[in-house]
Amino acid sequence: MTRISLTVDGASVSEDVEPRMLLVQFLREKLGKTGTVVGCDTSNCGACTVHLDGHSVKSCNVLAVQAEGSEVTTIEGLARDGELHPVQQAFHECHALQCGYCTPGMIMQSVDLLNDNPKPTEEEIRVGLEGNLCRCTGYHNIVRAVQTASGQEVNAS
Amino acid sequence: MIPAQFEYAAPTSLEEALALLAEHGDEAKVIAGGQSLLPVLRMRLNAPEHVIDIGRIEGLRGIREDGDAIVIGATTTHATVLTDPLVAEHAALLTKAVHHLADAQIRHRGTFGGALAHADPAGDMGAPALALGAEFVIAEQGGGTRTVGADDFFVDLFETAIGEDELLTEVRIPKHTGWGAHYEKFVRVAHQWPIVAVAATLKAEGGTITEARVGLTNMGSTPLRARAVEQSLTGQPATEDAVRAACEAAAEGTNPPSDLNGDADYRRHLATVLSRRAVLAAAAG
Ligand SMILES: Cc1cc2nc3c(=O)[nH]c(=O)nc-3n(C[C@H](O)[C@H](O)[C@H](O)COP(=O)(O)OP(=O)(O)OC[C@H]3O[C@@H](n4cnc5c(N)ncnc54)[C@H](O)[C@@H]3O)c2cc1C
Ligand code: FES
Ligand code: FES
């Protein structure tokens, strides 16, 4: 067992973990933060995306011990005082989800994308979300949600 | 799945890391960004007893200028390489290629040195590093270092000149200031390894190509230089016809794999087409 201390969604946590424990397992099984989900076995789907020291990562492809001393933000840490984050609000308004399984990862990656590029083009949004798979929506409403959250006009079609 | 159990160490100095490698020998595996290693451990394709994390060694990270080269620390992330102004100015081919490597999340964790040390023949960093004549600085046991040229670094599938108890510390890229560059990657789905890709960088004066370097991804067990193409391009005008003729030789001397994505003949054909596209785009800027 290795003791790790880090900040998760603004709270300091300290836990003993097996070195082989993945960050996503740590979040879900040790901290009960089941908002972050696992969708694949190959680090392809992006459903498990969280922010590690301010940058998006696939938490199924990071060891918990590698997050020692870091700051982690999950989908559960986005809302402030009961108010949805603008990207969460936009996903809600634009019907950017159907089953919702990809949504936590989609939103975390969209927030990262907008941090780097506050006014992305449609193409930049599609490329920026290439590491996140959605099996339901066909992506159009997800792109519209990101356009909406960035305060840009949504293309009509 | 989750990895088998292992002992974990996160040394903060190169000396400490090398000592751990000496102590544990082939029972140890180095982890940098983990973006290639962790999938392997999770699939249980490998189960090292010791995992040595080099991500906390400060001196291995960062990009600097050193005379006629830029030097990229082994644990510099792909995301840093992508946005670094020195790389964009002096080794634009890397900027172009890393843009197509995996996805944003993987680029935030994965490292330049890790991708090269992993030596996946379908990896996107090998061909550009080869084309740019990169030199690999390897830390040995006993405090010494040795520098290996790109032609000797890639040995075979997933095999490089780095010994089991050694570490890649940095990669020196000779400056190619003002060279046009393009990476043409052929894939069926987003954020995946190329079926074939071509890395081209060249110098042109008054519409004539004066020097060209062309690297091939996934056309053999290591990244390859398309030397016949490079030679034919030299002195040629950067026109569609001249470039097309030169690129007919792109598959010469290659030994591409056959797999679900395509057989070897298909890849040989792709190499000529993608070379033409890459060279023309590189000539355009
Ligand atoms: C979903 C997904 C998509 C991907 N798509 C692509 C793609 O399109 N193109 C592409 O090229 N790659 C792709 N990759 C692979 C990945 O991005 C790189 O191979 C990865 O960045 C390797 O770097 P790392 O730091 O993560 O290495 P690690 O996984 O930490 O290490 C890889 C190997 O190199 C060794 N190693 C690492 N650093 C050193 C060092 N300094 N000295 C000696 N040995 C060392 C390790 O022991 C290990 O064997 C993808 C990965 C995933 C999960
Ligand atoms: S669960 Fe992490 S990428 Fe699919
Ligand atoms: S909404 Fe079902 S996977 Fe995206």
Instruction: Categorize the per-residue pLDDT at A156 as very low, low, confident or very high, splitting at 50, 70 and 90.
Output: low
Closest ligand (CA of A106):
3
B160 within a domain of the structure (yes/no): yes
Q: Are residues B187 and B268 in the same domain?
A: yes
Q: Report the pLDDT averaged over residues B51-79.
A: 98
Does residue B169 share a domain with residue B196? no
Q: Do B38 and A128 touch (CB under 8 A)?
A: no
| pLDDT over 70 (residue A138) | yes
Task: Give the number of other CB atoms < 10 A from CB of residue B68.
Answer: 10
User: Model confidence over A64-99: pLDDT tens digits?
Assistant: 999 999 999 999 999 999 999 999 999 999 999 999
Whichever domain contains A66, its CATH number is 3.10.20.30
- The 10 Å Cβ neighbour count of residue B91 is 29
Domain containing B31 — which CATH number? 3.30.43.10
How far is residue A110's CA from residue B261's CA, in Å, rounded to a whole number?
Answer: 31
Mean pLDDT of chain B, nearest integer: 97
Residue of A nearest to B1 (CA): A41
Verify whether the Cβ–Cβ distance A66 to B190 is below 8 Å: no
On whether both B153 and B237 belong to a single domain, the answer is: no
Q: How far A109 CA lies from chain B's nearest CA (Å)?
A: 8
* pLDDT tens for each residue of B155-210: 999 999 999 999 999 999 999 999 999 999 999 888 789 999 999 999 999 999 99
Same domain, A104 and A61: no
Do B125 and B29 belong to one domain?
no
Closest CA to B121 of B37, B50, B197, B66: B197
Judge: A20–B41 Cβ closer than 8 Å, yes or no.
Answer: yes
Q: Which residue has the higher pLDDT, B190 or A150?
A: A150
Report if residue A155 sits inside a domain: no
Q: Which of A25, A49, A65 sits opposite B8 (nearest CB)?
A: A65
Does residue B115 line the site of ligand 1, with CB under 6 A? yes
Complex ipTM value: 0.97
**Ligand 2 neighbour A48 (Cβ under 6 A):** yes
Q: Kindly state whether residues B170 and B68 are assigned to the same domain.
A: yes
The last residue of one of the domains, among B132, B148, B174, is B174
Give the integer Cα–Cα distance in Å for B29 and B48.
Answer: 6
In chain B, which ranges are E strands?
A: 7-9, 28-31, 50-53, 63-66, 69-73, 135-139, 145-149, 154-156, 159-160, 167-174, 180-186, 196-205, 208-217, 224-225
Instruction: Specify whether A70 is located in the same domain as A101.
Output: no
Whether residue A97 lies inside any domain: the answer is: yes
For a substitution probing ligand 1, which of B18, B20, B21, B37 has the most ligand atoms within 8 Å of its CB? B37
**pLDDT more than 70, % of chain A:** 98
The answer to whether residues A100 and A141 belong to one domain is: yes
- Domain end call among A77, A99, A131: A77
What share of chain A has pLDDT > 90, as a percent?
Answer: 96
| CA gap B70, B168 in Å, rounded | 16
| Ligand 3 mean position, distance from CA B88 (Å) | 37
Number of domains chain A contains = 2
Interchain proximity A68–B108, CB inside 8 Å: no
Mutate to test the interface with A, among B103, B191, B192 (most CBs of A within 10 A): B103
Same domain, A50 and A101: no
Per-residue confidence at B259, pLDDT binned at 50, 70, 90? Answer: very high
A72 lies in the same domain as A96: no
- State the pLDDT at residue B192: 85
For residue A59, being part of any structural domain is answered with yes
Among A58, A150, A55, CA closest to A104: A58
pLDDT at B79: 98
On the CB side of B112, CA atoms within 13 Å amount to 32
Say what the pLDDT of residue B191 is: 79
| Domain containing residue B265: CATH number | 3.30.390.50
Q: Are residues A48 and A71 in the same domain?
A: yes
Backbone angles phi, psi at B221, to 5 degrees: -80, -10
- Asked if residue A61 and residue A21 are part of one domain, the reply reads yes
Q: Which of A50, A77, A104 is the last residue of a domain?
A: A77
Q: Which residue of B has its CA nearest to A58?
A: B105
| Shared-domain flag, residues A54 and A102 | no
CB under 8 Å to B80, separation ≥6 — which residues?
Answer: B63
One domain for residues B196 and B126: no
> Does residue A44 have a pLDDT over 70?
yes
Amino acid at B90: H
Pocket test for ligand 3, best of A75, A103, A106, A146 (most atoms within 8 A of CB): A103
Domain edge (last residue) among B121, B156, B174 = B174
B-chain residues near A42 (CB < 8 A): 39
Say yes or no: A22 and A60 in one domain: yes
Among residues B141, B174, B207, the one where a domain terminates is: B174
| Across B113-142, average pLDDT | 98
**DSSP SS3 for B186:** strand
- Structural domain includes residue B2: no
Give the total number of structural domains in chain B.
3
**A47 alpha carbon, closest ligand:** 2
Dist. CA B245–CA B213, nearest whole Å? 16
Whether pLDDT at A151 is above 80: yes
In a domain, B258, yes or no: yes
Its domain, for residue A137, covers: 86-149
CA gap A37, A24 in Å, rounded:
8
Q: Are residues A49 and A94 in the same domain?
A: no
Last residue of a domain, one of A42, A57, A77: A77
Asked if B161 and B192 sit in the same domain, the reply is: no
Residue A155, classed as helix, strand or coil, is: coil
**Given the structure tokens 């199924």, which residue do they identify?**
A60
What CATH number is attached to the domain comprising B71? 3.30.465.10
Q: Cα separation of B106 and A112, whole Å?
A: 13
Q: Would residue A157 count as lying in a domain?
A: no
**Residue B1 counted as domain residue:** no
Q: What is the CATH number of the domain that holds A106?
A: 1.10.150.120
The H or E element that residue A54 is part of is none
pLDDT of residue A157: 53
pLDDT value at residue B189? 85
Taking CB atoms and an 8 Å cutoff, what residues of chain A touch B190?
130-131
Question: What Rg do the C-alpha atoms of chain A give, in angstroms?
Answer: 16
Q: Residue B181 is encoded by which pair of tokens?
A: 């560059």
Domain that holds residue B207: 180-284
Whether residues A130 and A99 share a domain: the answer is yes
Residue A9 shares a structural domain with residue A65: yes
